[in-house]
Amino acid sequence: MSTESIEEFKIEVRSFIEANLAPELRVGNRKDLPKKQLGKWIQALGARGWITPEWPKEYGGGGLDRKHAAAMKGEFKAVRAPMVSSFGTSMLGPTLLQFGTDEQKLEFLPAISKHEVKWCQGYSEPGAGSDLASLQTRAVLEGDEYVVTGQKIWTTGADKADWIFCLVRTDPEASKHDGISFILFPMHQDGVEVSPLNLIDGTAEFSQVFFDGARAQAKHVVGPVNGGWTVAKRLLQHERSTDGGSEGGLSGAQKESYVDVVKREVGLENGVLADPVLRQRLAAQEQEAKALSLTMRRAGEEARAGQTARDIGSLGKFKWANMVKSEQDIVMLAHGTQGLGWEGPGFEQTELERTRAWLTTRADSIWGGTNEIQMNVIAKRVLQIPE
């Protein structure tokens, strides 16, 4: 826990930025950041514990309180420093802090906090998407290991991941929610096959993963055996809170905010946006963003206070998904036909990237729980509407 005043701490953060953040990186989260400079920045953050600033120092975190962590993030945002986040830091790590054994925390959290291990999420299956508890991937105990057989799909980054946190059925005779365990195991082993899936935007960030005798150590079950559904739901709350707390922004190699793009493409008249319809859309979008930010701050306070019964994260995910899609719709309207290029002459590279960014956001209301599922959760757990 830091004893410095906030202003003293901000000066420390600015000094750290000047010493470690290359000018080429001061452009936000872009896909074309120079790898060498980015690697040095990540290494410096990890050594300071600032990839996971609020985690305890014994697990590689910064040991900061919420106010100092917020001040740090504010300084990073002011210079458009790339933020380092992953499935490990935003989803698995917080879940391990709550449900993991001391041995599991010491084994996995320090590497996560230094961004040294890449994780992927083994949840959805071809027959278990929105109805996740219907999953059929099996794990059978043999000695001190589980043998895993089955299939996962829509697994982001599986082709690059070192480890997977995976939901498996360990008791096929139990009710579908009661026979599930949450287990960790390496991806680079016999019995794991990864097949990337081509997406509408031309990328292949998702994969289908096949398990045929993959091995997982029994000591790497997180939470009780057959009690993984509770762990899985808590992780989803972390995921949805992270998504809902995101600030949006154009995907891909973009230096400008969506507001900057619209202003440039449409132009200003007497200091205001020339197109009154887009001007109204931008104003409404900014109001929604502010409301979402305040709501997710409240969700964070409830989570810190241990109030997890109301899943406000689902509300955040629902609103965020719609807002990101709307944001990209506004950009496409500002570009007109120049926002619909795919390849060939007549389009700049940035215009082609925006087309793909727009297509990418069509999936935001599907992954992490569809909008329909989020509305059900909001009705039951936030609004507490009786069935």
Task: Report the pLDDT value the prediction gives residue 252, as an integer from 0 to 100.
Answer: 35
pLDDT at 46 over 80: yes
pLDDT band at 3, cuts 50/70/90?
low
Q: Does residue 361 register a pLDDT over 60?
A: yes
Residue 239 annotated as catalytic: yes
Rounded Cα gap, residues 171 and 227, in angstroms: 10
* DSSP H stretches of helix in 21-164: 35-48, 66-78, 87, 93-99, 102-113
Catalytic site residue from 54, 125, 239, 353: 239
User: Helix 276-304 and helix 258-266: axis angle, to 10°?
Assistant: 180
Read off the pTM: 0.77
**Contact residues for 384 (Cβ-Cβ < 8 A; gap 6+):** none
- Reported as a pLDDT band with limits 50, 70 and 90, residue 310 is low
The per-residue pLDDT for 248 is 34
Task: Write down the pLDDT at residue 96.
Answer: 97
Quick: pLDDT tens for 154-204. 899 999 999 999 999 999 999 989 999 999 999 999 999 999 988 777 777
Better-predicted residue by pLDDT, 203 or 252? 203
| Mean pLDDT value across residues 270-290 | 87
Asked if residues 184 and 206 have their Cβ atoms less than 8 Å apart, the reply is: no
What is the pLDDT, as a whole number, of residue 241? 61
Say whether 270 sits in a helix, a strand or coil.
coil
Percent of the chain with pLDDT over 90: 50
Q: Beta 119-122 vs 180-186: how paired, if at all?
A: unpaired
Instruction: Read off the tokens for 287.
Output: 């109001």
Helix axes 258-266, 312-335, angle to 10 degrees: 20
pLDDT exceeds 60 at position 313: yes
* Structural domains in the chain, sorted by start: 6-84 (no CATH), 119-226 (2.40.110.10), 245-382 (1.20.140.10)
- C-alpha–C-alpha distance, residues 97 and 186, integer Å: 20
Q: Higher confidence at residue 139 or residue 282?
A: 139
Alpha-carbon dihedral angle through residues 268, 271, 275, 277, given to the nearest 10 degrees: 150
